[in-house]
Structure 1
Amino acid sequence: MKFDINKDLDIILITYNRVDKLKKMLNCIFDNDSPIKDVPITILDNCSDDGTDILIKKYIDKKYKINYIVHNRNIGGNGNIARAMEIAIKKYLWILCDDDNINWKHWDEILYGMENDYDVILTERKIDIKSDKDYHLILNTLAFVSAGIYKTENITNEVMTNAVINIQNGFPHLVIAIHIVNYNKKIYIPKNQILYQNIKFDFQKGLNSEIHYRQACFNLFSNYVNTFQLIKDKKIRYKCCDTLWIGKSFCYSVYNFFEVKPFSMYNLSDFFLGVNIGQKIQIILIMLLKFVLFNIFYFESNYEKIKIKILFVTFVIRRPDQTRPDQTRPDQTRPDQTRPDYFYNNSKYKKIQPMLQYKIVA
């Protein structure tokens, strides 16, 4: 049967309290040059209170094909993604976000993927993927919710259940992609992308007494590892874990894992238990370096003071005044000592200065 974009593509746009960005996105969708301007779209509003409903009513009044659904309560951004997966009924599903940036120039490549019955079509390519078997790169790309158009037959009851469970990890949609990888289904990688994202490395969800601690301590890296546990093939799973940050080593990802605040032992446990033995060793070594060696010895220097930490004891060493204590009269001060950097930059004083001039004050 010939592919009919109006009948076979479910476009579901999720939004919450970003009316200005939503307006820009809707203008992109309904632009005269847009290939989907006549395709019915569904908007899932997470109970916005910023005038989103007024904006959408204006588009509906202009006879655009919009099905507007407002949730009675805010179910969370990832909950909204899972909701989009649950209500999709057409052959393909494309979940869009209200802040997506789309260029329709190469839409024909995306259409080719749907017309040829692929299970997922990539709309974004922030990295060079040379083969449809580069699963670690493909899954990393599809972590961005709008980066994939999925055949809805892959959203089985089991996939839907796992997606709801994976809401806490931030990637309910990635469950579909992993299902496709597990069953070696067809993946289409176009030569060009149509979707562009603004990457923001701000993974903390915010601290609030009402928010579950797993969300308050949200950590992108441990959540990736948790999600990848759905991958059946261990080699693929561990390779995905090895490339949590594309273009960087696993050690780099581990270091940044420990930089995310607030730190949570739950996240560390998930991260550690989800990787292979070689990766576990790297985690242990970085922990020793970061939390043990740095606490045994630490050195920091600036113009005013030097901090030295030895065996968990911190010494603060103040830099001396530029004039010797016995030089009370200005005319007794050596002219070249009026320059603040003289004493510290003059090589002949560097060795004796710490012994003769510094004073430990704390």
Structure 2
Amino acid sequence: MTDKIQPLLSICIPTYNRINSLKSHLPLLLEIIKPSQEINLIVCDNCSSDGTREYLIELQRDYDFTYHVNIENLGFDRNYLKCIELATGEFTWVLGDDDIIDDRSIAQITHILHNENVDYLIINGGQLQKSSKTILPRLKLDSNIELTDINVLFKNFAWHATWISACIFRTNPAKQYKSKKFITSGFTQVDLLLSIFGNSTRYMLLKQPIVYQSENVSEYSRSISAVLSLFSDSLYSISNNYLGEKLSQNTINSFMLGHYDNYGSFNFKAALYYKIQGQISFLYVIKNYSRLARITRHPSVWIYASLTPNYLIKIARKIWKTLENRKSAL
């Protein structure tokens, strides 16, 4: 009796009550990886109640994948760690249940994992532009980049690694991660990235965008309170935990501004959106000014937005929409 060969890559999908996303994306992914003998797929269900269990059991009749159900909802971070616990591949890729990979990407990824001495792979990706069928990348890279300096990586690129689907890493070091300090932060993957870093850790960033979300994903799907809790409080606490040990203050400051500088998040347009939704006021902005200052270079614009009458915001939104329509028509 021969020992079972370890897969090169485990693709792990954490999910909770997202049956529609699974129906749309999972069969496509299973078809993409089906020819490969080096990849296994694991779905980790966080005790869904929307028919996910019945659907996945039915899907297992046609496809070979592992389905695990937690006996109770563990929360996002613990379910993320459960994925790593269940992974059996040399590398692990935790993929969001609403994210899609380019069907040409598997060969590229397996080639890199086989031939490059890499410990942590950061995948480029973004939103799918349906009109052109291309992926608008979050990272603007001229070529693949190899790094061993955690400050260079974290300062310039780690904002992108807050997206769980952007990270592929060696499984064994990740399985040693036992910290519970940030277990309700929503960003355990960022603490994991920092905790497993050592002097010999090699990172690679891929130029080619190969994972994407459909372009109808809302830029403002979270409330402002959730935005501040996640992007200002949690990320700051996680990165600040490594101040002096692995990260400089300049690195942390740049990381905190990453979504603003690179993705246009938390800007004046966002502030106006939250104002017209009734989520911010002048007093709210003043009270949370220091939290806003961590994630935007111009926190004062949130004061201006809070004082802007809603009728002017509506006019501005019509102008923006008209300009965007004209731009897309060119």
TM-score clears 0.5: yes
CA contact (8 A) 1:168 1:215 kept: no
Distance 1:38 1:290, change over 3 A: closer
- The one-letter code sitting in structure 2 at the alignment partner of 1:30 is L
Measured on the aligned residues, the alpha-carbon RMSD in Å equals 4.1
The residue that corresponds to 2:53 in the other structure is 53
Structure-2 separation of matches of 1:301 and 1:139: 36
Q: Do the aligned partners of 1:123 and 1:148 also contact (CA within 8 Å) in 2?
A: yes
C-alpha displacement at 1:132, in angstroms? 3.8
8 Å CA contact 1:242, 1:250 repeated in 2? no
Partners in 2 of 1:188 and 1:123 — Cα distance? 9
- Conservation of the 8 A alpha-carbon contact between 1:143 and 1:174: yes
Look up the match of 2:247.
233
Quote how far apart the aligned CAs of 1:108 are: 2.7
2:169 pairs, out of 126, 150, 156, with 150
Asked if the contact 1:217–1:264 (Cα under 8 Å) also holds between the matched residues in 2, the reply is no
Tell me what 1:190 maps to: 206
How far off its partner does 1:223 sit? 2.8
Q: State the number of aligned residues.
A: 277
Quote the residue 2:91 is aligned against: 92
User: Please, which runs of 5 or more residues in structure 1 have no aligned partner?
Assistant: 207-213, 304-362
What does 1:54-93 align with in structure 2 at a 5 Å threshold?
Answer: 54-62=54-62, 64-93=63-92
Q: What residue in structure 2 maps to residue 351 of structure 1?
A: none
Report the counterpart of residue 220 of structure 2 in structure 1: 202
Structure 1 residue 245 displacement after superposition: 2.0
Instruction: Give TM-score, length-normalised by structure 2.
Output: 0.67
Per-residue CA deviations over 1:31-75 (Å, capped at 9, x if unaligned) read 16755587332211111122111211122223x322221111112
From the CA coordinates, give the structure whose radius of gyration is larger: 1
Partner SS, residue 201 of structure 1: coil
Displacement of 1:168: 2.6
* Percent identity over paired residues: 18
Larger relative contact order (CA 8 Å, sep ≥ 6): 2
Whole-Å separation in 1 of the counterparts to 2:292 and 2:302: 17
Secondary structure of 2:79's match?
helix
Letter in 2 for 1:193: P
The normalised TM-score by structure 1 is: 0.62
**Does the 8 A contact of 1:113 with 1:188 survive in 2?**
no
| 3-state SS of 1:226 partner | helix
> Cα gap change, 1:12/1:100 in structure 2, threshold over 3 Å: closer, same or farther?
same
Cα distance in structure 1, aligned partners of 2:39 and 2:189 = 22
Residues 156 and 61 (structure 1), Cα distance of their counterparts in 2 relative to 1, 3 Å cut: closer
Give me the whole-angstrom Cα distance separating, in 1, the residues matched to 2:102 and 2:17: 24
Question: Superposition pairs for residues 155-166 of structure 1, below 5 Å?
Answer: 155=174, 157=176, 159-161=177-179, 164-166=180-182
For 2:272 and 2:236, locate their aligned partners in 1 and report how far apart those are by CA, in whole Å. Answer: 11
* Structure 1 residues 94 and 219, CA gap change in structure 2 (3 angstroms): closer
